[in-house]
Chains A and B, each alone.
Chain A
């Protein structure tokens, strides 16, 4: 019983983890892309459609990644090249994504989906208790863990990661140092979009292999909140994602057990938890200021 609960928590947490990890890199470079929800839902609908039409779940996943990145490219062109307001552009991207996905997905509603099979690592997955949890998960679960390791290593142990952090900390100085601020931000934004697309595909291919309009249900916003929650540190995102995943699943189980609380209130729990955590974090200014990328959300125009 407990093992299966833990496994479902992992499935609930993985899309949050992937999307938030992408946004973390974006924000570390000093760009605030509020379009995560929009890129995610586009990933979900594309992933589902491609998988359903080709019969290959993997093709669906790759298509979702590409579409997420394409949407991010649109954001980058507007916010970085044309220097539009990042907040407004991100919000527009979300609204656009939600609308477009609903339209594209109309004919896919109710169709059976293609599911990505779990990988069972021979021998290890039969271990008692942790076997299924650690060694019998869907492939994207492993991707999410590798992603975390990779992002943490990239940010804090490579020169490119150092440059990305520098751009996020002070883009004027970075430009004066000869670092290509806009170029680095484009790459970061594309990476963030690819991650959001992948997270969307996770929802429509692994989590519930079907297409429902609005199926991201605010997960993109939770991913954004998670980045702040984690104070821009990769491993804290893992902790945050699993905490939120836990609340989501706990709420489902509480409903199943017939706890005498209205189901709407239980469904609202993850969002309430987000607000509480954000309030608690913003009270500690030291914690937020030491890690907050100082250029976050500020437009950069090189003066040449």
Chain B
């Protein structure tokens, strides 16, 4: 798209030397950023590179320790989100900042600085929703909506302010590929109107596709500024990571062997108002195989994990079978003793107790399965052996930590996740079930975790991976099934799976329609 605007005298927004310090961590260190009118500007960087901190300062939610922000060439003190909105900066948050208990219209009203009557807000929201192709229902309670719908509310809420600069924080991480395409159309429209967009992402393909400029952050510093269309995905990745990322090696699975994990006809009522009921889920994972479960967040993946791991016990014993034996009536420890291992989604607070050390966390999850190794006869803890095992796991997974045996909360997300996964891999479980193995984990750690899962499967275990990250599933799985609205599709062998097919199923298309071309189905 050729912009007809002349080169503006001053950029729309310019940041000079922005610095923000949390404790001893320089989250942003002398960051410079220039955003011109009518451009889509990418802010690239791994988790923890300082992207969120930077935009929070631009949006007035955080106060910079040093540096200035120029708006249209003039210094601006952005002291609050309200001030940012007054200038013409709008933001769509990554973790949506919507209120579940309120309706869409009430949510929109809250962000307007000038009080307006409810009916006027609703009408205006409907107009915008039509103009930009963002269908919403103003009277729906947000708690009942899908993530895609919530994002549309956020965008409309942002557009109501008529902003000149729109900040989007990881907008596609929760969308199906088709929903993402729709979003890109909306962004193009906004750009043609002369608005600027600051697009935060770590997905290189989409940055190459829609962005005009890119600023790359690493460990709080700007390491590159470039035109992403002239770069390759791997050159961008190198700028982000600062190092080559080891590609994950996957060979062909062995000829199919016995079924190690089997779930048949699993149904579950919603346990609370915002939960998803499960209906008639069937799946089986063979020895040596990785089965991936794709789906937009909040379609029952968490509920499925709880049921399979034994956090919630089934009514019939044969609903879940591990290594050919009924496990439906067993609790987590019972299922672990049969050779299964589980890694839940939330690493801090669910997979690990934040205030306890790594070795204590190791003991907490394995005191039953490894009682002989870790406990002496009267249940006394053999601290030395536990510490040794923790050390072994840290070494195997390359867990970087500041002390010999730190508290779980002292580790960065990626390192803790490596430890949590390593803790289970160390047992060589025959059945491994992981929910979001690399969510919010940097590329190097993610590659290590994925390789660990592949190696486990190739050594004869059955692995079930639940993930929102399609790239990850395509990288490691032998078959992919899709969850939507609490039901699970039949698995698609990886050789036949395409992003489009999986994406349509994620959006709720009937399995039979999965083969219809995109244009007709959407």
Instruction: Tell me if A169 is interfacial: C-beta within 8 Å of chain B.
Output: yes
With CB as the reference atom, state the residue of chain A lying closest to B84: A178
Among B60, B82, B85, B99, point to the contact of A173 (Cβ < 8 A): B99
A290 to B60, CA, bound (A): 32
Instruction: Flag if B62 contacts A165 (CB, 8 Å).
Output: no
A289 to B113, CA, bound (A): 30
Provide the residues of chain B in CB contact with A303, threshold 8 Å: 62
A165 to B113, CA, bound (A): 17
Residues 227 to 274 of chain A near chain B (Cβ within 8 Å): none
Instruction: Flag if B100 contacts A170 (CB, 8 Å).
Output: yes
How many residues of chain A are within 8 Å of chain B by beta carbon? 24
**A285-B272, A290-B273 are known contacts. Are A169 and B85 too (CB-CB below 8 A)?**
no
Instruction: Flag if B81 contacts A165 (CB, 8 Å).
Output: no
Instruction: Tell me if A159 is interfacial: C-beta within 8 Å of chain B.
Output: yes
Instruction: Tell me if B80 is interfacial: C-beta within 8 Å of chain A.
Output: yes
Closest-CB distance, A277 to chain B (whole angstroms): 21
Instruction: Tell me if A176 is interfacial: C-beta within 8 Å of chain B.
Output: yes
Residues 393 to 442 of chain B near chain A (Cβ within 8 Å): none
Provide the residues of chain B in CB contact with A179, threshold 8 Å: 110
Instruction: Flag if B115 contacts A178 (CB, 8 Å).
Output: no
**A159-B115, A285-B271, A286-B273 are known contacts. Are A177 and B110 too (CB-CB below 8 A)?**
yes
A212 to B274, CA, bound (A): 48
**A162-B102, A162-B109, A165-B102 are known contacts. Are A304 and B62 too (CB-CB below 8 A)?**
yes
A172 to B98, CA, bound (A): 10
A165 to B110, CA, bound (A): 11
With CB as the reference atom, state the residue of chain A lying closest to B142: A169
**A173-B99, A294-B100 are known contacts. Are A178 and B82 too (CB-CB below 8 A)?**
yes
Provide the residues of chain B in CB contact with A172, threshold 8 Å: 97
A172 to B100, CA, bound (A): 13
Instruction: Tell me if A198 is interfacial: C-beta within 8 Å of chain B.
Output: no
Among A163, A169, A177, point to the contact of B101 (Cβ < 8 A): A169
Instruction: Tell me if B289 is interfacial: C-beta within 8 Å of chain A.
Output: no
Instruction: Tell me if B474 is interfacial: C-beta within 8 Å of chain A.
Output: no
With CB as the reference atom, state the residue of chain B lying closest to A291: B101
Instruction: Flag if B61 contacts A176 (CB, 8 Å).
Output: yes
Instruction: Flag if B99 contacts A169 (CB, 8 Å).
Output: yes
Interface string of B38-62 (1 = CB under 8 A from A): 0000000000000000000000111
Instruction: Flag if A176 contacts B82 (CB, 8 Å).
Output: no
Provide the residues of chain B in CB contact with A162, threshold 8 Å: 102, 106, 109-110
**A176-B81, A179-B110 are known contacts. Are A289 and B272 too (CB-CB below 8 A)?**
yes
- Per DSSP, chain A at the interface is helix
A177 to B113, CA, bound (A): 10
A178 to B87, CA, bound (A): 14
Provide the residues of chain A in CB contact with B99, threshold 8 Å: 165-166, 169-170, 173-174
**A176-B81, A178-B80 are known contacts. Are A289 and B109 too (CB-CB below 8 A)?**
no
Among B63, B110, B271, point to the contact of A163 (Cβ < 8 A): B110
How many residues of chain B are within 8 Å of chain A by beta carbon? 26
Provide the residues of chain B in CB contact with A290, threshold 8 Å: 101, 273
Closest-CB distance, B332 to chain A (whole angstroms): 23
A163 to B111, CA, bound (A): 10
Provide the residues of chain A in CB contact with B106, threshold 8 Å: 162
Provide the residues of chain A in CB contact with B93, threshold 8 Å: 176
A159 to B105, CA, bound (A): 12
Instruction: Flag if B81 contacts A177 (CB, 8 Å).
Output: yes
Provide the residues of chain A in CB contact with B111, threshold 8 Å: 177
Provide the residues of chain A in CB contact with B115, threshold 8 Å: 159
Closest-CB distance, A141 to chain B (whole angstroms): 32
Interface string of A145-188 (1 = CB under 8 A from B): 00000000000000100110110011011111111000000000
A291 to B97, CA, bound (A): 19
User: Most chain-A Cβ atoms within 10 A of its Cβ — which of B61, B110, B113?
Assistant: B110
User: Most chain-B Cβ atoms within 10 A of its Cβ — which of A172, A173, A289?
Assistant: A173
Closest-CB distance, A236 to chain B (whole angstroms): 16
With CB as the reference atom, state the residue of chain A lying closest to B270: A286
A294 to B142, CA, bound (A): 14
Residues 76 to 118 of chain B near chain A (Cβ within 8 Å): 80-82, 85, 93, 96-102, 106, 109-111, 113, 115
With CB as the reference atom, state the residue of chain A lying closest to B115: A159
Closest-CB distance, A80 to chain B (whole angstroms): 19
Provide the residues of chain B in CB contact with A173, threshold 8 Å: 96-99
A293 to B62, CA, bound (A): 26
Closest-CB distance, A155 to chain B (whole angstroms): 12
Instruction: Flag if B100 contacts A169 (CB, 8 Å).
Output: yes
Closest-CB distance, B104 to chain A (whole angstroms): 13
With CB as the reference atom, state the residue of chain B lying closest to A290: B273
A173 to B93, CA, bound (A): 10
A177 to B158, CA, bound (A): 11
A290 to B109, CA, bound (A): 21
Provide the residues of chain B in CB contact with A159, threshold 8 Å: 109, 115
With CB as the reference atom, state the residue of chain B lying closest to A287: B273
A294 to B100, CA, bound (A): 9
Provide the residues of chain B in CB contact with A175, threshold 8 Å: 61
User: Most chain-B Cβ atoms within 10 A of its Cβ — which of A166, A169, A172, A178?
Assistant: A178
Instruction: Flag if A289 contacts B273 (CB, 8 Å).
Output: yes
User: Most chain-A Cβ atoms within 10 A of its Cβ — which of B98, B99, B106?
Assistant: B99
With CB as the reference atom, state the residue of chain A lying closest to B59: A176
A159 to B116, CA, bound (A): 9
A25 to B63, CA, bound (A): 32
Provide the residues of chain B in CB contact with A166, threshold 8 Å: 99, 102, 110
A286 to B60, CA, bound (A): 37
**A165-B102, A169-B101, A170-B99 are known contacts. Are A286 and B85 too (CB-CB below 8 A)?**
no
Among B61, B98, B272, point to the contact of A286 (Cβ < 8 A): B272
Closest-CB distance, A61 to chain B (whole angstroms): 34
Instruction: Flag if A304 contacts B101 (CB, 8 Å).
Output: no
Closest-CB distance, A171 to chain B (whole angstroms): 10
Closest-CB distance, B449 to chain A (whole angstroms): 29
With CB as the reference atom, state the residue of chain B lying closest to A180: B80
Instruction: Flag if A294 contacts B272 (CB, 8 Å).
Output: no
A15 to B115, CA, bound (A): 35
Provide the residues of chain B in CB contact with A294, threshold 8 Å: 100-101
Instruction: Flag if A178 contacts B81 (CB, 8 Å).
Output: yes
A174 to B102, CA, bound (A): 12
A210 to B93, CA, bound (A): 57
**A166-B102, A289-B273, A290-B273 are known contacts. Are A177 and B97 too (CB-CB below 8 A)?**
yes
With CB as the reference atom, state the residue of chain B lying closest to A285: B272
Closest-CB distance, A172 to chain B (whole angstroms): 7
**A178-B85, A179-B110 are known contacts. Are A165 and B63 too (CB-CB below 8 A)?**
no
Q: Shortest 5 CB-CB distances between A and B: which pairs?
A: A173-B97, A178-B81, A178-B82, A169-B99, A169-B101
What are 28 A-B contacts defined by CB distance under 8 Å? A159-B109, A163-B110, A165-B102, A166-B99, A166-B102, A169-B101, A169-B102, A170-B99, A172-B97, A173-B96, A173-B97, A173-B98, A174-B99, A174-B110, A176-B81, A177-B81, A177-B97, A177-B110, A177-B111, A178-B85, A178-B113, A179-B110, A285-B271, A289-B274, A290-B273, A291-B101, A293-B101, A303-B62
- B interface residues (Cβ-Cβ under 8 A, vs A): 60-63, 80-82, 85, 93, 96-102, 106, 109-111, 113, 115, 271-274
- A interface residues (Cβ-Cβ under 8 A, vs B): 159, 162-163, 165-166, 169-170, 172-179, 285-286, 289-291, 293-294, 303-304
10 more A-B contacts (CB under 8 A) besides A178-B81, A289-B274?
Answer: A162-B109, A169-B99, A170-B100, A173-B96, A173-B99, A177-B97, A178-B82, A178-B113, A291-B101, A304-B62
